C-alpha cells in the first residue's frame, strides 16, 4: 500500500513496540537537532511522486538542459544545411554617380555609359559541387547524434533522481524507526529500573539499559540530520529556487517486476542510446571524409540576374552614350557561370583528408567498444537487479524475525529468564535488520533505474 511517508514502519514492528510500551507512562524523549532550514516555506507541503520528480528535474537540471539545447541547435543546423542546398534569391538596388568624361556624355569609368546609372536586380545564386549534399547529410547525422546524447542524459538523470528520491524515503523511514527505537530503549530502561527496585536484577542491567537508551537517542538525532541532507539533495534537482516544502510518496515496497533476461537483451538491442550515439558519430566522421575528398573536385557557381542597368530608373530610357538610338527597353537579364578548379593549396586539402580519415578510424573503434560495453553493462546491471531483489526478499524476512525475537526476549527478561545484554542485542539486531531492509529496497529501485539506461523503460 502506498502512503505518505511520515510515520511509516512495518506493521509487525508497530505491534512489537505497542506490546513493549503497554502499561508504561511515556516520558518525553530528547528532541532532535534544531537544524537550520530555508525560510519562507509556510504553505502546505507539495506532494511529489517519482514521476513528478523526474519531470521537474528535466526542467530544472542545468546539465540536462545543456543536452536539450545541443539537440535544438543540431536541429537548426540541419535546417540551415538544407536551405544552403537550394537556390538563394536576393534583390539589390544601386545608384552609381560618376564624374563625366568630357566632351563625351559617358561616365569616366569604362563600365559606366553615363554620369548617372541605376541598377535594380533580382539575383538567383546557386552552387553546384560534389560537396553539395555533404553538409546536409552531416547535419542529419549530427542531429541524430545530439538526440541520442539527449536520451543518454535523460536516462542518466532518471538514475540520479531515483537515487535521491528513495534516499529521502529511506532517511525518513530511518528517522521514524529510530524515534520508535529510542522510545523502546526508554521503556526497557524503565523496566530495568523497576526490576532493580524489586531486587530482581543487578545494577549492571540498569547501566546497560541506560547505555542503550543514550545510543538510541544519538541515533535519533543523527537520523534527523540525514533526513535533512537527503531532502536538500533532492530539492536541488526539483525546484528553480531552493525549496524544502514538499513531501514524497513512499512507494518503496511497491516493487516493480524485473523482466526476463531475453526480453531485457532484446530491448537493449533495439533502443540503446549509447550504441546509437556511437553509430551516428561514425556517420558524422564518414561525411567529413566525403567532404574532404570532394574538395579536390571543381565547383560551379551560377548567378542569374534580372532587372535594369540604365541611365534612368525606368523600364525604358535613352542611352547616354548614343541618344540617337531613341528610347530603348532597359529590362533584361544576364547569367554568370564561374568554374573553379583547385590546383595548389600547399597540402591543406590533403591534410584535411588525412585528418578526417583519422577521426573516422577513431569513430569505428569507439563504435566497436560501445557494442562490447553494451553487453557488459547489460549483464552487470541485470545481475545487480537480481541480487538486489534477492537481498530485499531476504531482508524482509530477517526484519520480521528480528521483531519477533525482540518481543520474545523482552517477555523473557520480564520473567527473569534472559539478561539485559540479550535485550540490548535484540534491539540492535532489529534496528540493523530494519535499516538493511529499507536499504535493500532502495538498492533494487536504483538497480532497475540503472538497468533502464541500457534497455529503456519497461
Query: What average pLDDT score do residues 135-160 get?
Result: 95
Quick: pLDDT tens for 298-344: 999 999 999 998 888 888 888 777 777 888 888 999 999 999 999 99
Task: Quote the cell numbers at residue 427.
Answer: 534491539
CA distances from 142 to 30, 72, 75, 134, 454 (A): 61, 11, 9, 12, 22
Does residue 236 fall inside a structural domain?
Answer: yes
The residue segments making up the domain with residue 83 are 3-24+44-455
Instruction: Tell me: pLDDT of 219 over 60.
Output: yes
Q: Give me the CATH number covering residue 96.
A: 1.20.1600.10
For the chain, the domain total comes to 1
Query: Residue 204 — very low, low, confident or very high, per pLDDT cuts 50/70/90?
Result: confident
CA distances from 437 to 63, 160, 388, 389, 403 (A): 33, 21, 11, 11, 13
Does residue 39 fall inside a structural domain?
Answer: no
Query: Residue 180 — very low, low, confident or very high, per pLDDT cuts 50/70/90?
Result: confident
H helix intervals, 239-306 = 261-271, 273-294
Does residue 358 fall inside a structural domain?
Answer: yes
Does residue 36 fall inside a structural domain?
Answer: no
Does residue 32 fall inside a structural domain?
Answer: no
Query: Residue 195 — very low, low, confident or very high, per pLDDT cuts 50/70/90?
Result: confident
Does residue 34 fall inside a structural domain?
Answer: no
* Contact by Cβ (8 Å): 77, 70: no
CA distances from 195 to 24, 207, 209, 336, 418 (A): 14, 13, 12, 111, 13
The single residue listed with the C-alpha cell 544545411 is 81
Does residue 19 fall inside a structural domain?
Answer: yes
Predicted structure pTM score: 0.78
The single residue listed with the C-alpha cell 536541429 is 75
Quick: pLDDT tens for 379-406: 999 999 999 999 999 999 999 999 999 9
Does residue 326 fall inside a structural domain?
Answer: yes
Amino acid at each position: 500500500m502506498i502512503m505518505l511517508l511520515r510515520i511509516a514502519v512495518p506493521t509487525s514492528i508497530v505491534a512489537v513496540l505497542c506490546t513493549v510500551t503497554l502499561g508504561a507512562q511515556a516520558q518525553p524523549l530528547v528532541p532532535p537537532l534544531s537544524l537550520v532550514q530555508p525560510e519562507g516555506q509556510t504553505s502546505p507541503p507539495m506532494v511529489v511522486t517519482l514521476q513528478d520528480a523526474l519531470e521537474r528535474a528535466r526542467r530544472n537540471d542545468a546539465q540536462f538542459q545543456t543536452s536539450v539545447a545541443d539537440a535544438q541547435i543540431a536541429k537548426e543546423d540541419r535546417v540551415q544545411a538544407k536551405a544552403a542546398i537550394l537556390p538563394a534569391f536576393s534583390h539589390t538596388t544601386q545608384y552609381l554617380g560618376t564624374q563625366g568624361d568630357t566632351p563625351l556624355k559617358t561616365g569616366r569609368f569604362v563600365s559606366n555609359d553615363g554620369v548617372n546609372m541605376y541598377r535594380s536586380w533580382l539575383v538567383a545564386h546557386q552552387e553546384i559541387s560534389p560537396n553539395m549534399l555533404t553538409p546536409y547529410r552531416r547535419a542529419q547525422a549530427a542531429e541524430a547524434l545530439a538526440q541520442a546524447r539527449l536520451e543518454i542524459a535523460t536516462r542518466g538523470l532518471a538514475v540520479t533522481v531515483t537515487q535521491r528520491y528513495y534516499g529521502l524515503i529511506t532517511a525518513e523511514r530511518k528517522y521514524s524507526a529510530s524515534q520508535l527505537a529510542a522510545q523502546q530503549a526508554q521503556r526497557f530502561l524503565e523496566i530495568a529500573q523497576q526490576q532493580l527496585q524489586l531486587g530482581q536484577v543487578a545494577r549492571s542491567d540498569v547501566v546497560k539499559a541506560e547505555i542503550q537508551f543514550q545510543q538510541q537517542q544519538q541515533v535519533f538525532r543523527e537520523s534527523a540530520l540525514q533526513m535533512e541532507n537527503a531532502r536538500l539533495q533532492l530539492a536541488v534537482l526539483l525546484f528553480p529556487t531552493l525549496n524544502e516544502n514538499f513531501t514524497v510518496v513512499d512507494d518503496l515496497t511497491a516493487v516493480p517486476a524485473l523482466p526476463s533476461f531475453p526480453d531485457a537483451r532484446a530491448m537493449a538491442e533495439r533502443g540503446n542510446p549509447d550504441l546509437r550515439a556511437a553509430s551516428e558519430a561514425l556517420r558524422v566522421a564518414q561525411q567529413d571524409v566525403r567532404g574532404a575528398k570532394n574538395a579536390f573536385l571543381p565547383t560551379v557557381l551560377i548567378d542569374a540576374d534580372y532587372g535594369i542597368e540604365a541611365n534612368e530608373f525606368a523600364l525604358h530610357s535613352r542611352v547616354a552614350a548614343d541618344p540617337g538610338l531613341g528610347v530603348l527597353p532597359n529590362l533584361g537579364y544576364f547569367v554568370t557561370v564561374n568554374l573553379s578548379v583547385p590546383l595548389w593549396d600547399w597540402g591543406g586539402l590533403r591534410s584535411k583528408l588525412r585528418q578526417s580519415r583519422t577521426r573516422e578510424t577513431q569513430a569505428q573503434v569507439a563504435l566497436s567498444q560501445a557494442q562490447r560495453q553494451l553487453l557488459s553493462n547489460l549483464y552487470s546491471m541485470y545481475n545487480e537487479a537480481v541480487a538486489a531483489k534477492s537481498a530485499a526478499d531476504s531482508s524482509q524476512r530477517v526484519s520480521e524475525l528480528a521483531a519477533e525475537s525482540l518481543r520474545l526476549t523482552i517477555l523473557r527478561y520480564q520473567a527473569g529468564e534472559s539478561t539485559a545484554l540479550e535485550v540490548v542485542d535484540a534491539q540492535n539486531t532489529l534496528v540493523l535488520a530494519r535499516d538493511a531492509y529499507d536499504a535493500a529496497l532502495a538498492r533494487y529501485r536504483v538497480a532497475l533505474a540503472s538497468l533502464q539506461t541500457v534497455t529503456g523503460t519497461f
